């Protein structure tokens, strides 16, 4: 399946974090940058030819060499949304009729997405128009609208300018949210409210168990 991939770190001296865009490195810890750089990039700034939608970090116990480090047990998975790169889909500029967008590679920023049980990182690609010089991120609504329904439904995130949450949160609302008509149509205020109602931890419950066992 192309949808998901469990990453396994190789025991090499290569600093895979040097392959990442600078914006990614600012959002990721050293250990996260290593496995992300190895899994998604074949060289500095060069994405791998075969990409997945989901990337899961290595099991915490597989990253232990000497003394356990808490950071190894605090990993977030990544959802990679690059429809142009992954499926060779040509997108049209929303402003210029018939003008195809060009790829500008990986978007330099990562978004943190709230899920029911954890948080994950959202990564995307950048595109621009040769004619009007406009730039677009792959999760822009005008880009998503150009996708076939089957592909568009694979994108699991509700986005506002400041916040992002997984659609699964909206699918499992609390009882008072069900009676509130606002939640039938997600808005910026609704997502903000969801973030307040679901103060979830981004630590997988299994990882602290592994960490405690290593300390005993």
- Residue 109 has what pLDDT? 94
Confidence of residue 118 (pLDDT cuts 50, 70, 90): confident
Domain ranges of the chain: 50-57+74-215
- Does 114 or 136 have the greater pLDDT score? 136
pLDDT beyond 50 at 98: yes
Q: State residue 105's pLDDT score.
A: 92
Look at residue 145 and tell me whether its pLDDT is greater than 90.
yes
Using an 8 Å Cβ cutoff, are 162 and 119 in contact? no
pLDDT, residue 5, reads 57
Q: Which two tokens stand for residue 106?
A: 């990986």
Answer yes or no: is pLDDT of 33 > 80: yes
**Model pTM greater than 0.75?**
no
Angstrom distances, CA of residue 199 to CA of 121, 169, 202: 17, 12, 10
Split at pLDDT 50, 70, 90, the class of 205 is very low
| Predicted pLDDT of residue 91 | 97
State the chain's mean pLDDT as an integer.
78
User: SS3 for 187?
Assistant: coil
Whether the per-residue pLDDT at 130 is higher than 60: the answer is yes
Task: Give the span between the Cα atoms of 151 and 1, in whole angstroms.
Answer: 15
Q: Which of 2, 32, 1 is nearest to 17 (CA)?
A: 32
Question: 29 CB contacts (<8 Å, ≥6 apart)?
Answer: 71
Neighbours of 181 (CB within 10 A): 6
pLDDT of residue 108: 95
Q: What average pLDDT does this structure show over 169-188?
A: 54
Q: Which of 67-71, 176-180, 206-210 has the lowest mean pLDDT?
A: 206-210
Contact 155/81 with Cβ under 8 angstroms?
yes
Residue 31, pLDDT > 60, answer yes
Q: Percent of the chain, pLDDT > 90?
A: 50
């Amino acid at each position: 399946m192309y949808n998901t991939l469990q990453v396994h770190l190789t025991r090499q001296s290569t600093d895979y974090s040097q392959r990442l865009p600078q914006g990614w490195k600012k959002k990721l810890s050293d250990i996260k940058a290593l496995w992300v750089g190895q899994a998604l990039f074949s060289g500095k700034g060069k994405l791998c030819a075969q990409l997945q939608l989901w990337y899961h970090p290595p099991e915490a116990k597989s990253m232990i060499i000497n003394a356990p480090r808490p950071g190894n047990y605090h990993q977030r998975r990544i959802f990679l949304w690059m429809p142009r790169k992954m499926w060779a889909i040509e997108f049209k500029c929303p402003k210029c009729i018939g003008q195809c967008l060009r790829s500008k590679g990986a978007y330099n920023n990562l978004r943190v997405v709230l899920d029911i049980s954890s948080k994950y990182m959202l990564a995307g690609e950048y595109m621009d128009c040769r004619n009007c010089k406009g730039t677009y991120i792959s999760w822009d609504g005008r880009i998503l609208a150009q996708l076939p329904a089957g592909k568009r439904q694979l994108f699991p995130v509700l986005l506002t300018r400041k916040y992002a949450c997984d659609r699964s949160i909206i699918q499992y609302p609390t009882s008072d949210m069900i009676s509130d008509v606002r939640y039938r149509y997600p808005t910026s205020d609704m997502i903000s409210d969801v973030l307040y109602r679901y103060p979830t931890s981004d630590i997988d419950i299994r990882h602290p168990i592994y960490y405690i066992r290593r300390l005993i």
